Structures are given as structure tokens and as C-alpha cells.
Structure 1
């Protein structure tokens, strides 16, 4: 037993001694894996190197020209083929080389083409932040990448870039590589290479004349040529220049004192005064550059030899640039410039974007008044945009409300403003300060009223509004939509490009895609990338159509009539912004569309000061002229109503919407749009009719001098009777309301014919009435005697050499025949003036003559008086006798009548009905 036990123990010890520790196995496995990975990576890297392109000396000297094609495939731009000046290394001043190496590659003159220290830092950053977050490219690598490789961020391309950089360093000197680099880079402002950049920015053709600040600016520009453009953004340029100066101090290229002195420079003072002319299509080219930069990593349209296929309509682009030009033929009447705080003129600026409504392709971009100079600020696409004003109402208020609550275009909103903003002391008023009471959504939108819009947003909810607007490409400044967003009055800004993209979806059955200028990019190696964005449904087709139909009303009869284009079905919306401390608008918008085109336009002042626009109708004019021009000779069909929308006749003023009854007047019926399945079912009873009265009679009662009216009415309804009358075919005037079946009309005019009308009215619903019943009656004429005048007086006024005649009259309406020494004239007043008097005796007779009814032309008894006018100079008797043969009794001689008419004549002059 003991022997067997020892044998088993010995065997266990032997097995244990043969078993390896676990850590050794792990180490062995890890080593095998690392070796395999290393071999695999090595093989893969070897493949990358083997498939790398050869170094072609012809591609090292100049950047490859990128060719850009319009929507029809026609070449319209060849970027990089011009605006280039070559320079040799010996012409490069040391200060420029120091600025460039300190900024881009501080160990350029010592490394072998790749910088292992920079690679280590880049690897750490890429592990931390993701591949491509930081590059380690040396100047040599940048030359290789721009000459031979695609700008995509791939490991294979990075390996090839480093391999070719090592090869390039073996074949070319450092000086030659620096020369290639500085001749190849794009510096903005149509400048290819540092020599052309120095000339275009500073007017210097001899680079040895460059100062330290100028060299620092040139060294910093390639990182972001557009943003650091010193002509347009001198403040950003100075920030970048200071960064370069700091790097030069760090790498001991200059002293701190030299850097501090350079910082004192005023950037505009360095620049040439004669800025280059604007470039045709420059605004569109900027959009191309931005799209490719965003969608194709590292691509440079100025140096990469791309073929770029775009959506540009050159005819539309040229017309847009014409409307923004200073041409004498331009039909747009722009305001005169204003002066800034330094006395410099500041023009009203404009930005506009034209899209194809069907697919979102950008057809034209107007970037600025007078075109874009020096890669200038593009008001159509650049920056955070401007407050959109009321153009946001369809996007934030009414569109989401229809989408989520299936509201109709008739939906009633109470405009009982002002609207109190919860939690604040602020209020929102309508643009004209009015409160119009209950109204339809259609009217509220077409008249651009603020209170209904913010009420609609409040009822629908900010969450629905935010998701709806974001689906149309709108990015809000705050996490939450606020009540002010309904009227575009918050910190959220938009560009014409963004607004056009949102509005296009309304005209395209609710389908949205990001507006785009580039359809496809082809690289020199033949590889292509499709850049057309994906289209998605941003809303229901009923929302798109109902918003469109209301915006058509806004253009046809609302705030947008100045943008209406005769013969085109146009939908659109105006928008202005306000200033807290001033009356007026710093921004004015119009965004509208047809089934073919969508166009959004902004106007305002381009500088940072908030100035009031002298004319807010310029966007309307730009829209009208552009849409008229581009729509010539093409068919523009109307918007098609989808099956999800129904047209329904509704009784005006009903709340909620009700169908009209058989008795609803046509003037009280409106046709509105409803989401199918949400149209009204109930019929209004407002205009249900009662039975009319029977046996209506009217007779004149001579004893009471009145008209007696009687009628019959057999009904159990609780009613009253409204009595109206008209005299001699005139206007029907209400007289009274009674529950009796008779009525007396007193104070009647003799000889007049009266039409009497009786309407039955419900005492429970005064809107429910009967058809009117009517009858006629005549009042006999009554003849009165025409009395004679009284108090006839005549006096001579020697100072004015005239006789003043006056009299009284108390009787029926009459005029007066005046006889002076046998010459007569008829007047309507109670007095005359006889002028041009000569000495002698004047016999004056006045006869009243009846005017109205039975008294017409009846003459009353005449009254006479005599006045003797003596001469002041007896020697003039003979002459006066000659002048006394005839009395002047025309209008001048007898003069006008007195205005002090004590009689019963009435002034029948009509009132001027013109609406002031």
C-alpha cells in the first residue's frame, strides 16, 4: 500500500513539474498575436507603399486646376488656371520662411520628410479624439498630398503620403520643396502662391519688401483663407497674425520685442487701396467650396484638380448679379448710402438664394450688392444669419399647428392682444398696434399679425414647433423654442439659403432636403463622389398645401402684394425685424415660391450697427423681378391639392366652423381648406328664415298727417318686427322695432312717395329673420303761398363804390329775382352787392320765386326801394352821366350773395366720400 501511494505522489509531482505557469502562456500567445499583427501590418503597409503613385515632376510645380461645370454640363470656371505667379527660393525673404516654418513645420530643415515628434503627438490626439482629429503633416507631406494624393483621411493615404515624402526629400533639396510649397498654396482672394498673394493683398511684387506683420499674415492665411481675409475680416486676420507671431517667438525666429512691435500695426493700413473687381459667380463658387469642404474631407477646389458638377443656372445667376449691381439699367431703386461713425458710406446690402422647388438644387446666389470682392462676406450663405421676422410664422407657428392638430385654414383665433409673455413684463403687439378680434388662420397669416401667431405656438407647444422647424433645416439658438420664435424675434438667425430650403418644402409637398450646389466631384484618378443630399418627408402633404394656399393669399391680397407676379401662382411671406430703441426695421425679408422656383431674399445693412432701413420693400421688388425673368417662356403650373385636403364652404364667423344653411347669404360664406376627415358636420342656424308678414298695407291719414302701416302675422314664434322706410327711392332707413302689428309714421313730406318695409326678427336669435315685405304709399302735395320779402334795405358804400342790398324772408324754399333799373338776376341768398356804381338813381325790386313741389316757380309779391348816388365832383357830371346809362348786373357787377341767409334755403352740397 505504501509503495503505491508513493508512486502516485511521485507521478503528481512529475505532472506538476511539466505544467507551465499561466503568465507564460499569456505572454507566448500575446507575442504570437503581436508578431502576426506586425507581419500583417507590415504586409499591408508594404501594399500601400507598392501602390503609391510615382513622383511626377510636372505635378510639383503648379496646383492642379479644378474645372467646374453648370447644370447643363458646360464649363463655367477653371479655378487655379489664372491668378498665379511663380517665385524661386532665392526670392523668398528669410522673415517669410521663418514665419512659415514656425507656423507649419518648425523642424522642416532638419527632418527627413516626416517629423516623428509630431507623429507621436498626433497619434495621441487621434486615440483620444478619433482618427483624423489632428494631423502631423510636414511641409513636405503637404506638397505630396496636394500633388499626388486624394485629401481623404485614410490610413492607406497617410502611409503613402509619408513614403512619398521620404522619397521627395531624397530627390529634391529643402529649398526646392519650400519653393514648391509656397507656389502651390491657395491664399484666398483668387491668389495662388505666395507671390500673387503678396501682390493682391499688399501691392508688393518684390517679396524682400515684406514686413514682419505682412509675413505673419501670409503664413497664417492658408489655414482658413476666407475667414482670415484681411479685406473682409481684419479683426480675425489680426488674431491669426498674433498667433503666428507667438509661434515665431516660441521657435526663436524673432524676439518678444519684435513681436510686440508688430502687433501694433493697423491691418487695413497694410492693404492695397485698389481692391480687385468682383468675380463673376463668386457667390456661387463660395457655396461650392463650402459644400466640398464639408462633405469631402481635406479637398481643396483651388489646388486639387477636381471636376465639379454643379446645379448652377448661369442665366439666373447673371440676372441676380445684375439686380444687385449698380447698373443704370437696374430696375431696383436702392436707397442712398448712409455714413458710419467715421463718415464712410454704408450701403444697404442684400443676399438672395434661388432654388429649384422640385429638388432643392441651388440655381443662383446673390451674395452682396455689387458682387463679391476679395472672397468677401456672402450675405446669402455666411455666418449665423439674421433674425427672420415674420417669415418664421409658417415654420414655427402655423405649420406645426396644422401638422400636429390638423387645423383648418379657417381655424378661428381671437386677436385680442397685446399678448403678455409669461414670467416677464413684456408684451407682443401686432405690427400696427391693432386688435381685430376673431379671425381665421388664413387672415392672420396673410396680414402677418403677431398676436394670433404667438397664441398658435402657445397652444400647439414648443416641442412640436421645434421638431417641425428642425426638420426644415432650422437650428435654434436656444435648446427650447420660445414664444418669440413664432415671430422670428429671438436670437435665432437664418441665412437666405436656410430660409429658402425651409420654404421649398412647403412648395414640394412637404419633402425637404438640404439645398445643394454640387452634384458630383471627380478626382484626378477618376474616382467620383455623389454629393446630392437625401430627401425626406418633413411634414404631411396636407400641411404643405394648406400653408402654401394661405401664403398665396398673403401675396394676392395681404402684406406681400408688392411681390405678386401677374399670371404666376406665387406663395410667399414678408418679414421685418424691430429695434427696441428705434422705430423702423433693420432687416427686411421676402421668401416665396412657385412650383418651379423658390427664392429667399434679405436686405439690411452689412455692418454691425443696427440701422433702420429707409425702404423695407426692396426684397419684394427683387423677388418680383427675378421670378418674372426666370419664369418667362416656361410653364408654371399651379400647386396641386392632395387627396388629404378638402375644400369646404363655411359660414363666416361660425365658431367652431359650421356649414352654411340654405338661408346663409352668399356674402357670409367662405371656402376654406380642411384636412380630410376633420371637416365640419354641423349646419349653422344663424341665418334660418322666419315666415314674412302677410297683408302689409300703408295709407296716408290726412287728419293726422301721417302714414298708418298695418300687417298680419300668424305664428307662435317669439318675434318682433323691424320697420324701415325710404323716401322717393332713396336709402332704406330703419325706423323702429315693435311687437305690435301696426305702426304710425309721422313727419312725412308732402308730395313724397314712401316705400315701407317690415322684417320679422327672432327675439331669441336676432340673426334669424324673414324676407322683407314691402309696400308703397304717396303723400299728397301741399301748396303754400309765397310771401313777399320784408325789411328791404339798400345803402351806398362810398369807400368801396358799391350798393349793399339786403332783405328778410320767412316762407317756403325760394330764390329771389333782383331787378336793378330793368336788369335782372336771380340769387339764392338774402342779399346782393351792386358794384361799379356811377352817380344816379337806382330802382331795386326783389321778387321771391318758389322752388320745390307745388310751389315751384310760384312768384310772390315784389318789394322795391330806390337809392340815389350823388357825385363827389360836380365837374364830372357829364362824364358820370355817360357812365350812368347802364348798370352792370352780371356776376361781378351785382356781386355775390350774403352768406347770412336767414331764410329756409338749405345747403345741399354733398360730402366728399374719399377715404382719407
Structure 2
């Protein structure tokens, strides 16, 4: 047993020894492999680095002298600006004061005079930052590097270019002195305001041609400008300039160039007091060029359009840009009704299909290069132009609400936890309204309620997809009505609205399509398009915004013949009546325009309201621009996608119902629904009631009245509308009664038509078909009295007998007989002339009235007679002839047969 145990022990020891040898062998192989990989990597890296260094450009002295000008091309490839050729003053090192040298080196390269082109301490710090934060997060560029980059290399962050930059920096340091390199740098860089080189910048900003006259504060400003020459432009952004100056002064203190006391004294200076009064004149299309500069700086890190000799292809339409600038400059021909000289304005014109920027109006009457660009910089509260972006767009996108969607606009919206409330701009509340109506009239309360329905997170995501950036990265309750801290530019608003007009496809608005470097390399900068909303959302918002322009708050923007969608917007101040900002954003299928106006401040520098009528300026800018640029172009209407259906809805139904066959046309509206969400149930509100039955009408001669009766369900909650009309006249409502009988008293003779309509007591619009019956009221027969005052007079001169009478009775005509012979026609008047009287003859004249109407038609009355003797021819004439007045012939008196009616136009009532 002892031998076996020893044998097993020995065996285990052998196995352990074998495993240990195996482990050592594996680790040895791994270490050898790693060494091989490391060596191969080192060799490969060295080879690659060697290749990059070998292919680096040569130090061309001509390229070290001055920056290269950049060429800007419009949409058709025509050059419209050349940047970097003017406003340059060259200096030598001896022209530089020590304070400027100290400010520049402390800011850009504190160990400039100590290193040999590469600052290894700074380099290792940058490498560590690039490892932890990603390549390109921090640079190690010295002043020498910057001269090399601006002279020979592109600004792209590529390892190859950085390796070449290091190599060329070492070569430059061997060939030129530090003083020469610093001189190159300060002559080459751009300082803003169309100034190239530090000497020109000192003269542009401070009016100093001798750099030795610069103060510490001025030197610090100049040293800080190259980092962001537009943002730190002291003419336009003195506050930003001061912050940057403070940074430079602190760096000078840190590196022992000045004392704390000197820095504090310089910090107290008032920036505007240092500047010259006359600013440099602006370049043509300066507002657009600012956008070009901004895009290139953002997309090509380190590139400089003023010094890098770039060929920049842009989207500029010079004809549109010229017209926009015309509208923003005062002249007698300018149609825009600006209220005063103080108002500022900015606007942007985009291609609706692509997002390309066609024109930018940066400010009103801008005469200074690099002037503040209200179209792309800063920002203002958006007011109600935010409603489609933050309220109704998300609600349609996520909740699929219809344009008919009902919202209760019943009262102000109280903000929870405060004593404040959101109110409609007109302080009126209308109960249940549709989403279309609420947007049409820019009602605040419904907008906030729809925003709540959609969900705050959804609304924020929707708006951010359209390029809106929220204050503090968080949406607020008042954002849907544009009243929070969130501010936007016309460029952002135009970009967002363009997506509604482009079927929900968005890309960032862009001014640059392509950049070509000096070495021929091309970089495409056209942004990628992205679907950010459903096509139903885009179309339904567009359709509602067309209503805004057609019959809502934006009617002043309507353009005949163009399908225009758009939205107005104003903001307000908490303790002052009026609006400090006014907006209009709108689009067709070709162009999108956003315009802003405002810029007023009070004596304390606080925002102030726009004068009376000035809030309409953005609408005028939009209308005139859109009308001008759309001339000669086909502008098709927006096409409804298959995801949207048009449905007729009974007005007021909630939830929506289809109209019944009895719904009045005035109670039907056509609205848009996302397909699959449209209503299917038919409204019963206007269902027709059954008509009455057994309708009878009886005339009672004793009471001269008509008694009407009918039958109807006694339990029905209805009333009965009774109407009547004599033959030939219009139906007139007599009564609305809940009884099933009524009496019509004091009726006149004739044929009556009686009508009864059943009316619901709950809704008077619900009615039945009319039931009708006819009844005749006979005219009572009257006695025909005889004529009175019958008289006959002989007119010897005319040889006639003039017969007259009077009559009081029912309508009648008169039969006249002379000596038994009846006159051929009935006489309509009260007299007749009988001719052919024979002297010496006696005539008996009989007049009989005959009834002419109703029951008396043809009834003969009692006759009356009169006898007259006609004197003979031998009778002596009277002593004094009596003048007999001439009587009218038959039919010539006031009531005769041929009497004509009087002209109604000349009758006085």
C-alpha cells in the first residue's frame, strides 16, 4: 500500500509539472505574438507616417505671404462674391507692440518662443484628451501649426493631415525665425468686419494705424477675435467681445505677461467707447454670406472662407435675394408699411422641395458688414407660429386627431400650482370648437389642451425633429403658444414649416452644396433628408393652415391664384399691452418663407412693443415676396395622400357623426381624417319626424272662421307649426302650438291652403314634412243699390247730353239706356256723354248697376231714370247764356274705363 501511495503521489507531481510547462509555453507564445503584432504595427505605422511625410506639400514661400481669396458661386454657378482680397494692411515684426505680442502668444501659444514648432507638453495633453473624448476633441496647434495649416493644408481633422502639419511645422521653424512666423500669422488671419491681418483690424475697429497706440484692452480684443471673428465682432456683440477679452486678460495674467491689477483695470473699459463711429460698409448679399460662413465653420472644422482659397457652391438665387433686400431697405418704391425707422426685420426664403436657402434678409437698412443677422442669429419667442409645430402637428402624428377634432374652449386654462392662467388673445371663449377652427383663429386654450393630449415628450421629440431647440433642453407648458424661454430664428421656423409642405420630409436648411479646396478636393455639404412625420400629418396641418390664410387670422397673406398655407404669430409682455414680436410663416409647393419684425427697446434697454399696425409687417413681407417670386412659375396645389380621407361630418356632433339624409346643408362640414379613423355612425340629431294625419279644415260662416284639426301621437314631445296662405300669396306662420287643433278667425273670402309641420321641442331643427289641406271661404252676397243723384244736362254748343250719377255699394258697372235703347258697353265710371241729341226731343235715361265680383257677379240692381227735354230750334235764346263746364267723355274721368294706374316710383307713401 505504501508503494502504491508513493506511486500515485509521483504521478500527480509529474502531471503538475507537465501542466506548468504547458502554461509557460502558452504565455510565451502569447507574448511572442504580441511582440510580433507590436513590431508589425510599429513598422506599419512608421511606414504610413513616412509615406504621409513624404507626400506632404512643399514649403511654398508664395503661399506664406497672403491668404487665398475664396469664390462664392450662386445656384447657377455664377460668381457673386470674392472674399479675402480687400481690406488688408501688411505689417512687419517691428510694427508689433509688446502688449499685442504678449496677448496673442498667451492666448494662442504660450510657449511659442520656446518650442521648435511642436509644443510636446500641449501635444501629449491633446493626445490624452483625444483618447478619452474622441479624435478631434482637442488640438495641439501652435502658432506655427496654424500658419502651416492656413498656407498648405485643409482644416479637416484627419490623422494624415495632422502628421503632415507636425512635419511642416518643424520644417518651417528651421527655415524661418520666430519673428517671421509670428509676422506671417498676424498678417494672414481674419479678424471679422472684412478685415484681414491685425493692422487692418486695429484700424477698422479702433481707428489706429499705428499698432503701438493700442491699449491693453484693445490688444486683448484683437487677440481674442480670430477664434470666432463673427461672434466676437465688437460692433455687433459687445457683450460677447467683453467676455472673450476677459478670457485673454486672464491668460495673460496666468502666463506672467501682466499683473492682476493691470487686468482688472482693463476689464473695466466700456467696449463701445473704444470703437470708431463709422463702421465698414457691407458686402453685397452679406446676410447670405454670413450663413455660408456659419455652415462651413460648423461642417468643415477649421476652414475659413476668408483665407483658405475655397470655391464655394451655394444655393443663392440672386433675383430673389435682390428683391428681399429691396423690401428691407427704405425707399419710395418699397411697398412695406414700416411704422417707423426703428423697426427691425428678418426673413428667409427656402425651396420647399429641397430646403435650399434661396435668400436671406438679415436686417432692415443694414449698411455694416457683419451686421446683426436677425434671420439666422439670436432668436425671439415664436408666438403662435409654434402651434402647428408643438401642438397640432404632434397631436395628429401621435393621436391621429382629425381636423374636426373637438376641443372645449370654455374658459382660461389654469396653470397648476400657480395663480396664472393661459387665455385666448381676444379674451373670448366659445365652447366646443374644432381643431381647424381653433388654429384658424389662433386660440391659445385649445392649443394647450391639444398639446396635453399629444403628450409633452411626444411634442418635444416632434419639434426637435423639425430643428427646434428648447430652452434648457426641456419643453414647457407655454411652448405650444410660443410664450416660454425658447427662442427661434426665421431660418428655424422656415425649416420646420417647409417639412409640412414637403410631405413630412425634413433636412436642415442649407446655403452650401459643395466646397472645392485649392488642391481640387471636393466636399459635398448637402444635408441628408429624413422623414420626420407621416404624410397625413403634413397634409392635414397644411390644409388647416390654408384655412388660416383663406378665412382666418392670415387673410392679409392671401394671394389670388396661389395655394398658400401659413400662420401668424405675435408675442406679449407681462406688464404691457402690445406685442414685441410679430411673425408670419407660410409656404406653397415651391417656396417657404418665414418673416419676423420687432427689435424695439425702452429707455432701460428692455424689450418694447411694436407700434400700432406694425404687427402686420411680416405678413406684408411674405405676401409681396411670395407674389413676386412665384410669377411665371407653375404652383400646383398640395396633393392629398392616400392616408387621408375627406369626410362630411354633422357640425357639432361629438364624437363626430356622419350627417343623416335630413341634416340641413348648413349643418354639414367637410373635414380630414387619418384613414381608418373616420366616423361610421350616422347622426340622429336631424332625423325627420312623422307628419300629422287626419288634417281637416272647415269654414264656419256664422263666426267667419276656419277650424283646423289633426291627429298625432299624444306622447311625442313636439309642437305644431300652423301656416296658411290665400291663393296666390306666400305661406305665413300663424302659430306654434302643442294642441292638435286651432281656429283661424276673421278670414277673408277666397281659397286657403292650410299647412301643419311637426317640430321637435328638443331641437327646432328637427321637423316633419308639411301636411296640407285646402278650404274655400265664399264671399257673402250683398244687395246692389240703385245709383243716386242721376242727372242729365244738354250742351247745345257740343250737341251732347252729359249724364252723371253717384254710387255707393259693392263693386259694379252700369248699364245705360236712352229711350229704351241700351248703350253697347257697360260703363265703368260714374258718368257718360250721349251725342246726337235732336232739338225738340224728350229723352228718358235709365241707369242700372250690375255686380262685378264674387257672389254679386252679374246681379242687377234697381234702375234709376231721368227725363230731359231738348229745346227746339225756334226757341228764343236765353237772356244770359249760362256757362256749362265741359264734362269728360265716357272713360275720361278719374274712374273711367281707360284710367291708367299712377307710376309707383312717384307715389309718396
Q: Is the 8 A contact 2:699 2:775 kept in 1?
A: no
Aligned to 2:850: none
Mapping for residues 589-668 of structure 1, pairs under 5 Å: 589-605=583-599, 609-614=606-611, 615-668=614-667
> Shift of the alpha carbon at 1:512?
1.1
After superposition, where does 1:165-204 map in structure 2 within 5 Å? 165-204=169-208
Does the CA-based 8 Å contact 2:70-2:308 persist in structure 1?
yes
Q: Distance in 1 between matches of 2:160 and 2:778?
A: 111
* Contact 1:396–1:465 (Cα < 8 Å) also in 2: yes
**Which residue matches 1:420?**
414
Partner Cα distance (1:15, 1:229) in 2: 74
Deviation at 1:708, TM superposition (A): 4.2
TM-superposed CA distance for 1:231, in Å, is: 0.7
Structure 1 residue 550, shift from structure 2 partner: 0.8
Output the CA distance in 2 between the equivalents of 1:417 and 1:780: 63
State the Cα distance separating 1:16 from its structure 2 match: 9.8
- CA–CA separation in structure 2 for the residues paired with 1:107 and 1:759: 102
| Whole-angstrom distance in 1 between the partners of 2:777 and 2:65 | 109
2:475 & 2:696 partners in 1: Cα distance? 68
Instruction: Name the CA distance, whole Å, in 1 between partners of 2:79 and 2:707.
Output: 90
1:531 partnered with 2:531 = no
Q: Equivalents in 1 of 2:753, 2:24: separation in Å?
A: 127
2:323 matched to 1:326? no
Q: 1:320 to 1:714 in 2, by over 3 A?
A: same
Q: Does 1:316 align with 2:295?
A: no
Measured after TM superposition, the shift of residue 371 of structure 1 is 2.6
Give the C-alpha shift of residue 445 in structure 1: 0.9
> In the aligned structure 2, how far is the partner of 1:779 from the partner of 1:390?
71
The counterpart of 1:380, out of the listed 375, 387, 390, is: 375
Instruction: Measure the CA separation in 2 of the matches of 1:462 and 1:402.
Output: 14
Q: Go from structure 1 to structure 2 and tell me whether the alpha carbon gap of 1:690 and 1:93 turns closer, same or farther (over 3 Å shift).
A: same
Offset at 1:594? 0.3
Tell me the CA shift for residue 190 of structure 1: 0.8
Aligned to 1:793: none
Aligned equivalents of 1:601, 1:658: Cα separation in 2: 40
Structure 1 residue 173, shift from structure 2 partner: 2.3
Contact kept in structure 2, 1:724 and 1:736, CA below 8 Å: no
The Cα shift of 1:521 comes to: 1.1
Q: Once the 2 structures are TM-superposed, how far is the Cα of residue 71 of structure 1 from its aligned partner?
A: 0.9
Runs of 5+ consecutive residues of structure 2 not aligned to the other structure: 781-907
Which residue number corresponds to residue 677 of structure 1?
Answer: 676
CA contact (8 A) 1:393 1:453 kept: yes
What corresponds to 2:740 in structure 1? 740
1:225 aligns with 2:229: yes
C-alpha distance in 2 between matches for 1:99 and 1:173: 20
1:296 pairs with 2:300 = yes
Matches within 5 A, 1:70-469: 70-337=74-341, 347-371=342-366, 373-383=368-378, 385-469=379-463
For the residue of structure 1 that corresponds to 2:156, the secondary structure is coil
Structure 2: how far apart are the matches of 1:403 and 1:16? 68
Tell me the CA shift for residue 243 of structure 1: 2.2
Aligned residues: 767
CA contact (8 A) 1:701 1:708 kept: yes
Contact kept, 8 Å, 2:536 with 2:644, in 1: the verdict is yes
Residue in structure 2 matching 1:510, options 493, 499, 504? 504
The farther-off stretch of 448-457 and 481-490 is: 481-490
Q: Could you tell me how far 1:144 is from its partner in structure 2? A: 0.5
Q: Structure 1: give runs of 5+ residues left out of the alignment.
A: 338-346, 782-908, 911-916
Q: CA RMSD in A?
A: 3.5
SS at match of 1:616: helix
Deviations 1:203-237 (A, max 9, x none): 22222322222112111110111121111111221
- The alignment status of 1:690 with 2:689, answered yes or no, reads yes
How far apart, in 1, do the equivalents of 2:501 and 2:775 lie? Answer: 59
Distance between the aligned counterparts of 1:733 and 1:83, measured in 2?
Answer: 89
Cα offset for 1:433?
0.9
1:591-644 per-residue CA deviation (whole Å, 9 max, x = no partner) reads 110000011112121666221112211111111111111111111111111112
CA shift at 1:538, angstroms?
1.2
Per-residue CA deviations over 1:126-172 (Å, capped at 9, x if unaligned) read 23332222222111111000000010112211111111111112222
The aligned counterpart of 1:555 is 549
SS at match of 2:478: helix
State yes or no: 1:55 paired with 2:46: no
Change (3 A) 1:580 1:752: farther
Q: Distance in 1 between matches of 2:81 and 2:539?
A: 39
Q: Does the 8 A contact of 1:709 with 1:744 survive in 2?
A: yes
Cα distance change of structure 1 residues 13 and 284 upon mapping to structure 2, 3 Å threshold: closer
Equivalent in the alignment of 2:830: none
TM-score normalised over the length of structure 2: 0.78
Match of 1:492 in 2: 486
Query: For each residue in 1:285-304, what CA deviation from the matched residue of structure 2 results, as whole angstroms up to 9, or x when unmatched?
Result: 11111111111121111111
How far is the alpha carbon of 1:660 from its aligned partner? 1.9
Distance change >3 Å, CA 777–CA 463, structure 1 → 2: farther
The verdict on how the C-alpha distance between 1:780 and 1:625 changes in structure 2, with shifts beyond 3 A counting, is: farther
Aligned to 1:483, the other structure's residue is in SS state coil
- How many Å apart are 1:328 and its aligned residue? 2.6
How far is 1:81 from its partner?
1.7
Distance 1:408 1:744 in 2: 52
Q: CA-to-partner distance for each residue in 1:374-410, whole Å, 9 max, x for gaps?
A: 4122111113x22211111111221122222222212
Contact residue 419 and residue 427 of structure 1 kept, 8 A: yes
